[in-house]
Structure 1
Amino acid sequence: MRELGRRSEAAEHPFKRTASPASSAHLQSAPQVAAAPLALIGKVGRRDEIVSACPAARALGIHPGMAATHARALVSDLDFRAAEPEADEALLDRLALFGIRHSSPIVAVSPPDGIWLDLTGAAHLHGGEERFYQRLQAFCRRVGFTARIAIADTPGAAHALARYGAEDIAIVPAGGVAKALSPIPVAALRLDRGALAAARKFGFETIADLLPVARGPLARRLGLAAIDRLDQALGGKAEPITPREDIVTPAVERRLLEPIGTAEAIAQVMHDLLQDLAQVLQRKGLGARSLRLVALRIDGGEQVVAIGTSRPSREVPHLLRLLKLRIERIDPGMGLEQFRLLAPHTEPLDAENLGAILAGESTVRDPARLVDVVAGRIGPGSVFRIAPVESHVPERAVRLTSPILPAGSWPAWQRPVRLFAHPEPLHRVMALLPDQPPKRFEWRGKSHTVVAGDGPDRIHGEWWRRNAEVWAVRDYHRVEDDAGGRYWVFRRGDGVASETGDLSWWMHGIFA
């Protein structure tokens, strides 16, 4: 290559624009980062466009709206990644929920990359507007975000200043919205592409160009939507925002005129609370998966009982039956004067179609109610169903699952009815190597003489779990002793290679 006078590195793009003095100064002032410049690519219409770029990428001439192919040709080593708008929306929703709990009761997401906080009546709680934006800026810096903050009289003005203002932080005094918005580009009004094209056609570059124009001619040029956006930003038209609602645990409360202490009185209060809670859940379209009853005694002590259901429910008789099973655990003391019923865990519950049931077409009964009652008596951990797992190792081939869920299809394996959780060792075993079942063994201090046997069924270890199972082998045998007992035993190792096992015998299950 050197003899031919050629270079192996890529040549400069022939259509790349030369750097002007202003752009050279901008490049020098760009932040120096260790990683490659980053740009996000998204689908806009039928082509891939740059939807976002870091400051270092913008310094190289990459800007949102540029075609992805043009950006790749302009900067070859640019770090391109696919945009994830769903993940961005989820993150903004989490930040809005955090703002509700820590900043203001009215917080809304400002798509595509902002959050509105209504500080009306809440700024003094943070020490004023200036103190509030300082705390907000410190929070964003602490979690790794760069933020532009604007505080104005209207949501539209705050949106425009935060995205197109000259300063990263802007506080507009009351009545100064028009002056603050005058040098801002028309694009800050959140207009569509047609309105922006019309504004460029008629020479409207900044919002100040729109203010002296009468509303009628301006509407004919840019459309009524542009007039509405302008009036919303200036405060001439209200722009309500839809706040993010915090998830509140459904709860009801009863305060009694006189303390109670009998089981009948407590059951009556439970019934009243469940009726009130059922109405709350019905309005929200939810069903309770767990309930928590808190009873306050006269001496200030609390008595707490809880129940759970297999499926979401808001049926008062069924839930009352489960709560009554917990009355004996409540110590009323000198008397109970206040009750509070909460539903910490809820799930969506729609109306049930009873047409097929009323017509007699459905005969399948739901076991959820029976499971809830049995679990309420003996504990939820004692009611379960065995489900298969895709594994050849016997102790890993089953798992505990909910009793109301289908167990699934079982493989056609000859496994014992009773399988031990941990195999038990056998002693004084007599067997012919390498493949014969044992002739005699001792288990739990008792000697067994084998009269019949079948096998071996060889099971290899699951090598992807750990290195010790790469060569592990188990040879299982079904044996029957002279007393009629049928057992499932195995030997570690194949009887030939020592690395497959130590040839010890183990009891793993008993057949019926």
Structure 2
Amino acid sequence: MWFPRLPSERALRLRPVEGPFAIIAVQSNHERLYALNEAAERQGLECGMGVADARAYVPDLVTRPADIDADRRFLTMLARWATRYTPHAGLDGEDGLVLDITGAAHLFGGEAAMLEDMKDRLARTRLSVKIGIADTRGAAWALAHFAPGIAGAGKTAQALGPLPVAALRTNEKTDTALKRLGLNTIADLTALPRATLARRFDMALIERLDQATGQRGETVSPLSEPPHYGVRMMLPDPIGLMDDVMAALSRLIERLCQKLKARESGARLLRLTLTRADSTAQTCELRLARPMREAARILSLFERSVAAVDAGFGIERMRLEATSVENLPAEQLSDSGTAPADALDDLITRLGVRIGIDNILRFQPVESHIPERGFAELPATAGRIDMDWHAPRPRPLKLFAPEPITAAPARRPPSRFSWRRMRLETASTTGPERIAPEWWRPDESWRSGLRDYWKVETRQGLRLWMYHTPQAPGWFVHGLFA
């Protein structure tokens, strides 16, 4: 199955456009057409054409940037849809699917009926597709790209004969060389002795020819199912005591952690579903501050949630599922058997069980010289950010909104001034540190312009962080050092 307009049709499904439309991508530092819709193709545009040239031909051309990842996800979704025809469905490049329908075609009334059903269903979803069915994967690809249809059983060579040599999935250099020798079709190629082809070209051409004609096998790799991190337990008799529930939960967690460990993953969100004897269910969720797969620790964190469960006439079924999973590769542990940051993350998780983990915030550094933007408040579950950037000079421990002082106007810190109804005398000063506003960010408090910051120690024992504004002379206190 070949989708010649997959990127453009995927984008048009989200936001339809009337008239010529194209997806553009940057190739060799130039914007070029990456995919087109049918209207753009009818006006003579081709993939690979420069955007400027395309607009000269078609002034009303509508364009959008390419999203390769979204195209890949969409193609994967189509591959999962194709499993309605056969369980052996996989990806073929960036714009195709390959299906092994051996033993499945009769369930849809034969190959012809299956092909028409595929076309009808995809047409209703506004997707263009070209399909080839043959005995081999190479022949099916060739038919889909150059002569859509069905090659009957045992007629693969006959169907491939009139197709161009590019149908063998060879590279452009080999195709050009074959055409220069007058070998335009696959029939011309097969008429030559294999020894001649082997001497003139590399073995890749022979391999592709053998795969297309069936002399060499080529497998279909179906999409692998995403890992499922869920375990369940059916209890022989209903249970209601917390100790019994925790004992059963311990077994579920052990099994789940084995799955996580096998894939070097850790759970961030766990959901425990308890089904009672009256078929009603209660759910307990545990959000973790870090990926985790240590069974003993996870079990202890569930105690508070399980204690709040109303067992009713007893619990008959239990299901534990990790609904959010992150990579957790093996790492060197400390002498105590725990990683250095585990204790803090466990504390955050325990507090989160009580007050909600979203209510716990953590300060993270931000690359900005502006004091108010040097940090950000993020949820504790966001994790820590490792940064090499540091402010060029120490920042005060306590930062507050700038407060004006009463002093004689001067460019250097005044020897005597009043602040918060206190009369202070300057003992020593360090500075200045000039900080300019970030012009690309609107900020009312920084529209006054430059600031010259000074560290001022007073004889009264206060260590102030003060600044002077040259453009509108004035002194302000912005923070306190410890």
Task: Tell me whether 1:220 sits opposite 2:231 in the alignment.
Answer: no
Residue 439 (structure 2) aligned to one of 443, 463, 468: 463
Deviation of 1:98 (Å): 0.9
Q: Give the SS at the match of 1:431.
A: coil
Rg larger in structure: 1
Deviation of 1:381 (Å): 4.8
Cα separation, partners in 2 of 1:351 and 1:41, compared to 1, 3 Å: closer
Q: Which residue of 1 aligns with 2:226?
A: 247
* Higher RCO (CA-CA < 8 Å; seq separation 6+): 2
Residue 279 (structure 1) aligned to one of 254, 258, 262: 258
Structure 1 length-normalised TM:
0.63
Q: Give the SS at the match of 2:302.
A: helix
Cα separation, partners in 2 of 1:466 and 1:265, compared to 1, 3 Å: same
Measured in 2, the distance between the counterparts of 1:352 and 1:440 equals: 53
Aligned Cα RMSD in Å? 5.3
Cα separation, partners in 2 of 1:405 and 1:202, compared to 1, 3 Å: closer
Measured in 2, the distance between the counterparts of 1:102 and 1:117 equals: 11
1:119-160 CA distances to partner (integer Å, 9 max, x unpaired)?
5648849x843132233245464xxxx653334443222200
Structure 2 length-normalised TM:
0.66
Task: Name the amino acid aligned to 1:419.
Answer: L
Measured in 2, the distance between the counterparts of 1:247 and 1:148 equals: 28
Matches within 5 A, 1:173-188: 177-188=156-167
Q: Which residue of 2 aligns with 1:149?
A: 131
Cα separation, partners in 2 of 1:40 and 1:161, compared to 1, 3 Å: farther
Task: Tell me whether 1:449 sits opposite 2:422 in the alignment.
Answer: yes
Measured in 2, the distance between the counterparts of 1:51 and 1:461 equals: 41
Measured in 2, the distance between the counterparts of 1:508 and 1:299 equals: 63
1:190-216 CA distances to partner (integer Å, 9 max, x unpaired)?
3568986897799764344577x6xxx
Matches within 5 A, 1:412-423: 412-415=393-396, 417-420=397-400, 423=401
1:69-117 CA distances to partner (integer Å, 9 max, x unpaired)?
xx9xx99x899xxxxxxx8975663233212333325432323653324
Deviation of 1:273 (Å): 1.3
Cα separation, partners in 2 of 1:131 and 1:109, compared to 1, 3 Å: same
Measured in 2, the distance between the counterparts of 1:89 and 1:461 equals: 38
State, as a whole percentage, how many aligned pairs show the same letter.
32
Measured in 2, the distance between the counterparts of 1:481 and 1:205 equals: 91
Unaligned runs of 5+ in 1: 1-32, 44-49, 80-86, 442-447
Cα separation, partners in 2 of 1:318 and 1:182, compared to 1, 3 Å: same
Cα separation, partners in 2 of 1:221 and 1:155, compared to 1, 3 Å: same
Task: Tell me whether 1:396 sits opposite 2:373 in the alignment.
Answer: yes
The answer on whether the counterparts of 1:451 and 1:481 sit within 8 Å (CA) in structure 2 is yes
Matches within 5 A, 1:299-314: 299-314=278-293
Deviation of 1:320 (Å): 2.3
The answer on whether the counterparts of 1:391 and 1:397 sit within 8 Å (CA) in structure 2 is yes
1:402-425 CA distances to partner (integer Å, 9 max, x unpaired)?
67665764543351x3334xx39x
The answer on whether the counterparts of 1:100 and 1:106 sit within 8 Å (CA) in structure 2 is no
Measured in 2, the distance between the counterparts of 1:418 and 1:36 equals: 54
Q: Give the SS at the match of 1:375.
A: helix
Deviation of 1:230 (Å): 4.7
Cα separation, partners in 2 of 1:218 and 1:61, compared to 1, 3 Å: farther
The answer on whether the counterparts of 1:475 and 1:494 sit within 8 Å (CA) in structure 2 is yes
Cα separation, partners in 2 of 1:314 and 1:152, compared to 1, 3 Å: same
Deviation of 1:256 (Å): 1.9
Moved more, 52-61 or 240-249: 52-61
Task: Tell me whether 1:370 sits opposite 2:343 in the alignment.
Answer: yes
Q: Which residue of 1 aligns with 2:4?
A: none
Matches within 5 A, 1:478-493: 486=462
Q: Which residue of 2 aligns with 1:23?
A: none
Cα separation, partners in 2 of 1:340 and 1:196, compared to 1, 3 Å: same
The answer on whether the counterparts of 1:430 and 1:439 sit within 8 Å (CA) in structure 2 is yes
The answer on whether the counterparts of 1:149 and 1:170 sit within 8 Å (CA) in structure 2 is yes
Measured in 2, the distance between the counterparts of 1:306 and 1:61 equals: 54
Measured in 2, the distance between the counterparts of 1:174 and 1:256 equals: 54
Measured in 1, the distance between the counterparts of 2:398 and 2:470 equals: 27
Q: Which residue of 2 aligns with 1:170?
A: 149
Measured in 1, the distance between the counterparts of 2:454 and 2:204 equals: 81
Deviation of 1:266 (Å): 1.9
Task: Name the amino acid aligned to 2:393.
Answer: A
